């Protein structure tokens, strides 16, 4: 890498542009070389603290080119507050001035703030001026002046809200940069709030799902209870029919008892069939209770079988 002093910057530029072989730069057009010489000279006159050199630049696609490189510091604000200077590296693109220069911030010992609207984590800078780059309206010197204002408005190392603002007239480009900064942070705030709302909605959805499962369980239990009640209602209906049949059969006895002296046992004497049905129902109930007790382990299998045999003999 070669470097130049402020006194010999023009000679260094000319020598670098005329170099051939392995030292040749990636600027091929003669008119382009003349414009690069002019713009570099103007820049070094305004920023004499920058050092000019040539070096290899690696593009993201893997291509390697030999370019001019400027390294120096930008003081983003004077009074009423002193902010850290920003060390930058400027690469003059091989297609300059049709393509804007590539500017990187060197964080050194101070890390770059996260979510900065114009500086990414690698230090690469961008702004409205760069996004709307158009030659000959745009040039190297004005782009760095604009970058200095952008970084003064939103410093890469210091939070924006800690920097006091001044009521000065600003250019249209700077106004757009400030607007882009405000919109950037507004979007971040909205995204953060949206993330919280989405998380709350997920929690609410999970709670609703659990409640839905509980409601389904309750509905299933109610359906089962309804079926049980239906069975009981049918049984009560059958028992009611049996009582009606008995009443019709014994109606004469009841009317006779009103005129004759009849004993209580004689009045409620049941038919053999009805009595047999009652006994069968009673035995069935006992068998069901014994079966449930045996299933729960409350009755030994031997006792269970013995009781079943006895009841079976009584029933049949």
pLDDT value of position 264: 53
pLDDT digits (tens, 9 = 90+) for 226-265: 888 888 888 888 888 888 877 777 766 666 655 555 555 5
| Domain membership of residue 30 as a residue range | 1-159
In a domain, 232, yes or no: no
Cα dihedral sign, 4-8-10-13: negative
Q: Which residue has the higher pLDDT, 4 or 23?
A: 23
Looking at residue 111, the DSSP 8-state letter turns out to be P
CA distance 67 to 50: 16
Residue 220: its pLDDT value, please? Answer: 87
Return the bridge partners of 102, or none.
91
224: in domain: no
- The pLDDT of 61-81, averaged and rounded, is 82
Per-residue confidence band for 272, with pLDDT thresholds at 50, 70 and 90: low
Q: What is the DSSP letter of 71?
A: E
Composition of the chain by helix, strand, coil, percent to 5: 60, 10, 30
Number of structural domains, the chain?
1
Map residue 116 onto helix, strand or coil: coil
Rounded-to-integer distance, Cα 76 and Cα 155, Å:
8
**What's the CA gap between 140 and 100, in Å, rounded?**
8
Domain membership flag for residue 142: yes
* Residue 113's CATH number: 3.10.110.10
Whether 275 maps to a domain, the answer reads no
Residue 246 lies in a domain: no
Q: Out of 11-20, 60-69, 166-175, 189-198, which region has the weakest mean confidence (pLDDT)?
A: 166-175
Confidence band, pLDDT 50/70/90 cuts, at residue 2: very low
Q: Phi and psi (nearest 5°) for 256?
A: -65, -35
Residue 10 has pLDDT above 60, yes or no: yes
pLDDT for 24 equals 93
Q: Which residue has the higher pLDDT, 195 or 186?
A: 195
Decide if pLDDT at 215 tops 60.
yes
Residue 213 CA neighbour count, 13 Å, CB half = 5
Q: Is residue 267 part of a domain?
A: no
Does any domain span residue 234? Answer: no
Is the Cβ–Cβ distance between 112 and 121 less than 8 Å? Answer: yes
115 inside domain? yes
Q: Which of 268, 274, 273, 282 has the alpha carbon at shortest distance from 315?
A: 282
**Nearest Cα to Cα of residue 17 among 5, 32, 6, 3:** 32
102-154 residue pLDDT tens: 999 987 767 777 777 788 888 899 888 898 899 999 999 999 998 888 888 78
């Amino acid at each position: 890498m070669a470097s130049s002093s402020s006194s010999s910057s023009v000679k260094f530029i000319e020598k670098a542009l005329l170099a051939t072989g392995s030292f040749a730069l990636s600027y091929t057009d003669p008119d382009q070389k003349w414009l690069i010489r002019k713009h570099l000279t103007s820049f070094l006159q305004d920023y004499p603290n920058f050092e000019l050199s040539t070096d290899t630049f690696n593009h993201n696609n893997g291509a390697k080119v030999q370019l001019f490189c400027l390294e120096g510091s930008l003081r983003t604000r004077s009074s009423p507050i002193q902010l850290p200077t920003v060390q930058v590296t400027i690469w003059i693109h091989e297609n300059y001035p049709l393509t804007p220069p590539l500017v990187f911030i060197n964080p050194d010992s101070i890390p770059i703030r996260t979510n900065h609207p114009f500086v990414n984590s690698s230090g690469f800078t961008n702004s409205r001026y760069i996004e709307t780059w158009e030659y000959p309206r745009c040039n190297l010197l004005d782009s760095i002046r604009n970058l200095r204002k952008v970084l003064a408005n939103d410093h890469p190392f210091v939070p924006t809200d800690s920097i006091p603002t001044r009521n000065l007239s600003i250019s249209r480009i700077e106004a757009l940069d400030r607007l882009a900064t405000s919109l950037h942070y507004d979007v971040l705030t909205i995204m953060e709030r949206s993330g919280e709302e989405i998380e709350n909605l997920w929690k609410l959805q999970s709670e609703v799902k659990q409640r839905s499962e509980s409601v389904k369980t309750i509905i299933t239990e109610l359906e089962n209870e309804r079926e049980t009640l239906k069975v009981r209602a049918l049984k009560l209906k059958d028992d009611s029919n049996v009582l009606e049949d008995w009443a019709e059969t014994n109606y004469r006895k009841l009317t006779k008892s009103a005129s004759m002296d009849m004993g209580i046992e004689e009045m409620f004497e049941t038919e053999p069939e009805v009595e047999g049905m009652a006994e069968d129902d009673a035995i069935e109930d006992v068998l069901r209770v014994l079966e449930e007790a045996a299933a729960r382990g409350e009755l030994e299998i031997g006792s269970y079988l013995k009781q079943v045999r006895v009841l079976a003999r009584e029933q049949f």
